[in-house]
C-alpha cells in the first residue's frame, strides 16, 4: 500500500497535540515568573499596577527600617499632561499593619513639598521623588520582605475640566 502525500501527517499530529500543551505550560511559567513566584529570596524590587504615574526605576526603591520606617520612590509623570499631586499614602500588606501617611514630594531640581500643607505640580514627563515617613502600626525590620500598596491622588486638566484621579500600585522588595 502506498501513501503518497501523507508523509508529514504524523509530525503534524504530534505538533498539534503536544504543541498546545507546551505553549500553555510556557505561558503559565511566564505569568508566575512575572508575579515573583520564582524570586527565591533575592533582593529584586518589583512595581506593578502603576499606569499614569510610574516608578522610574523599581530597583532603586528604598524602604528603610530607620526611624520606624521610610519609603523613597522616584516616579515619572506619563498621564498626558501636567498633574497636581494632592496626597499620597503607603500601606504595607507585608508586614501587616504598617501604614505611612506623612508624604513629601520633591520635583527633580526643586525643593521638598509637604503634601499635608500644599500640593505639588509635576509637568508631563517630569520626574519627582516621593518620600513617605511616619510609618506606624507594625515593624519593618532590615532584610525582611515587604509588599507596599501606594496610592497617589492627583488632579489633571482634561478638556478644560479638572479631574481628580487616584494612581494605585504595588511594590515588592526587601527592607534595607
Compute the average pLDDT of residues 127-143. 79
What is the largest distance, in Å, between two alpha-carbon atoms of the chain? 90
CATH number of the structural domain spanning residue 65: 2.60.40
Structure confidence by residue, pLDDT tens digits, 12-69: 888 888 888 889 999 999 888 777 676 655 557 888 889 999 988 776 777 776 666 6
Tell me the pTM. Answer: 0.71
Percent of the chain with pLDDT over 90: 29
Give the CA count within 13 Å in the CB-facing half-sphere of 154: 25
85 — pLDDT class (breaks 50, 70, 90): very high
Residues 7 and 94 in one domain: no
2 SS3 class: coil
What is the C-alpha separation between 114 and 102, in angstroms, rounded?
8
Q: Which helix (H) or strand (E) holds 88?
A: strand 83-94
Residues 81 and 13 in one domain: no
Residues 6 or more apart from 62 whose CB is under 8 A from it? 70, 71, 72, 73, 176
Residues 128 and 61 in one domain: yes
Residues 131 and 63 in one domain: yes
Residues 100 and 152 in one domain: yes
Residues 6 or more apart from 47 whose CB is under 8 A from it? 54, 55, 58, 61, 169, 170, 171, 172
Compute the average pLDDT of residues 156-162. 88
Residues 77 and 114 in one domain: yes
* Count of structural domains, the chain: 2
95 — pLDDT class (breaks 50, 70, 90): confident
Residues 81 and 106 in one domain: yes
Residues 87 and 53 in one domain: yes
Residues 74 and 149 in one domain: yes
Structure confidence by residue, pLDDT tens digits, 31-43: 887 776 766 555 5
10 — pLDDT class (breaks 50, 70, 90): confident
Cell numbers that stand for 147 in this block:
509588599
Residues 84 and 8 in one domain: no
Percent of the chain with pLDDT over 70: 86
Instruction: Determine the pLDDT at residue 123.
Output: 93
Structural domain boundaries, residue 29: 1-38
| Contact call for residues 150 and 40 (beta carbons, < 8 A) | no
Instruction: Determine the pLDDT at residue 19.
Output: 85
Residues 141 and 108 in one domain: yes
Residues 139 and 59 in one domain: yes
Amino acid at each position: 500500500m502506498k501513501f503518497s502525500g501523507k508523509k508529514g501527517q504524523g509530525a503534524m499530529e504530534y505538533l498539534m497535540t503536544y504543541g498546545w500543551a507546551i505553549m500553555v505550560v510556557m505561558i503559565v511559567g511566564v505569568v508566575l515568573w512575572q508575579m515573583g513566584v520564582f524570586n527565591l529570596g533575592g533582593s529584586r524590587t518589583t512595581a506593578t499596577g502603576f499606569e499614569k504615574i510610574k516608578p522610574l526605576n523599581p530597583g532603586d526603591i528604598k524602604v528603610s527600617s530607620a526611624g520606624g520606617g521610610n519609603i523613597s520612590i522616584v516616579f515619572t509623570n506619563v498621564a498626558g499632561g501636567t498633574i497636581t499631586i494632592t496626597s499620597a499614602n503607603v500601606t504595607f500588606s507585608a508586614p501587616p499593619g504598617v501604614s505611612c501617611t506623612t508624604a513629601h514630594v520633591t520635583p527633580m531640581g526643586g525643593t521638598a513639598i509637604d503634601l499635608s500643607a500644599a500640593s505639588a505640580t509635576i509637568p508631563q514627563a517630569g520626574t519627582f521623588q516621593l518620600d513617605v515617613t511616619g510609618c506606624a502600626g507594625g515593624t519593618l525590620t532590615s532584610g525582611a520582605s515587604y509588599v507596599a500598596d501606594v496610592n497617589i491622588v492627583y488632579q489633571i486638566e482634561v478638556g478644560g475640566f479638572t479631574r481628580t484621579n487616584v494612581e494605585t500600585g504595588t511594590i515588592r522588595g526587601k527592607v534595607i
